Homo-oligomer: A and B are copies of this chain.
Amino acid sequence: MSEHRSAGGHSHPVDAERVEAARQRLISPEDAARLSSLLGLLADPVRARILYALDTVEELCVGDLALALEASEDSVGYGLRILRTAGLVTGRKAGRIVYYRLADDFPQPLREHCLRRLVELTRAPLDED
């Protein structure tokens, strides 16, 4: 059998029950893709810090944000572009200054769980690498 051994390792289950159980309660590839792309937005130190900062002070312009994070204005600008494209942040333009804040429809669970609680997780990592 020299097809694509891609999905053809073994054809018959070892634990047919569990396989079936897993199949029923499984998340679809589409949902997984959505979830992944959403979490992927936090999978970058700069973006994560941006969101966390905006969660605490609610409004900041690009320069001040870069200043607060001690990051390059370029990377902050790029991060904001990604987040803006994804619809997680919005920009209020006042003169030549653009004030960014979390979008009104910012996913509350994401805000609550990933931004606020998971941070504490990373702050108390007793072991790991």
Contact = CB atoms under 8 A, between A and B. Distances in A.
A87 B37 CA distance: 22
A27 B53 CA distance: 8
A2 interface: no
Interface string A20-35: 0111011101011111
For this chain, the copies found in one complex come to 2
Contacts of A19: 60, 64, 67-68
A14 B44 CA distance: 26
Interface string A86-125: 0100000000010000000101011001100111111101
Nearest to A62: B9
Interface in A2-22: 4-10, 13-15, 18-19, 21-22
A28 to B, nearest CB: 9
Nearest to A126: B105
Contacts of A27: 48-49, 52, 119, 122
Ordered nearest first, which 6 A-B pairs have the shortest CB separation? A113-B113, A40-B43, A9-B73, A6-B72, A32-B45, A22-B68
